[in-house]
Amino acid sequence: MQMKTVAIPGRYCNYERVTVANPLNLRLCDGSHFEPRHEIVEYAKYERLVDDMSERGWSGPPIVADVEACRAVTGSHRIPAAHSAGITAPAVDLADLTEKCGVDLQKFVARYGELEFALPALCDRLPSRITDAYGLDIY
């Protein structure tokens, strides 16, 4: 996975440097305040992430989120870990990601009733290299 270090508007300072995998070069935003999909379920994973982020900062795929709703699709452990480590959680908008891949997000949401139910079918339509790079391979 190709990583790139970029500056994004940060939560704790004017701009913060993060290292992200963003093969579609989507606009990054601060996802630190986004609501995770679920609570922390793997505390050992969360603690490892806090230690790693405290030492190295952010490194890996950005959070994928419904930016308009401030709700994360990925990153249920990474968002609180970034908060605990005092760093910004970079995020990309799911709408931008699907548009760049030629997939109509609203069509899937309309068909399944809400985003949560649409995610598995939606992710099946995205190229596997994109679901892998953005951490959407969990659906």
Please give the distance of CA 43 from its chain centroid, rounded to a whole number. Answer: 19
16-72 pLDDT, tens digit each:
677 888 999 999 999 999 999 999 999 999 999 999 999 988 989 999 999 999 999
Least confident of 2-6, 47-51, 129-133: 2-6
Is it the case that residue 12 has pLDDT exceeding 80?
no
Domain count, the chain: 1
**139 located within any domain:** no
Residue range(s) defining the domain that contains residue 92: 4-133
Mean pLDDT across the chain: 90
**122 located within any domain:** yes
Q: For position 1, what pLDDT does the model report?
A: 59
Other residues' Cβ atoms within 10 Å of the Cβ of residue 52: 15
**8 located within any domain:** yes
- Quick one: what percent of the chain has pLDDT higher than 90? 76
Residue 59 CA to residue 89 CA, distance in Å, equals: 10
**138 located within any domain:** no
Q: For position 3, what pLDDT does the model report?
A: 72
Residue 96 CA to residue 9 CA, distance in Å, equals: 18
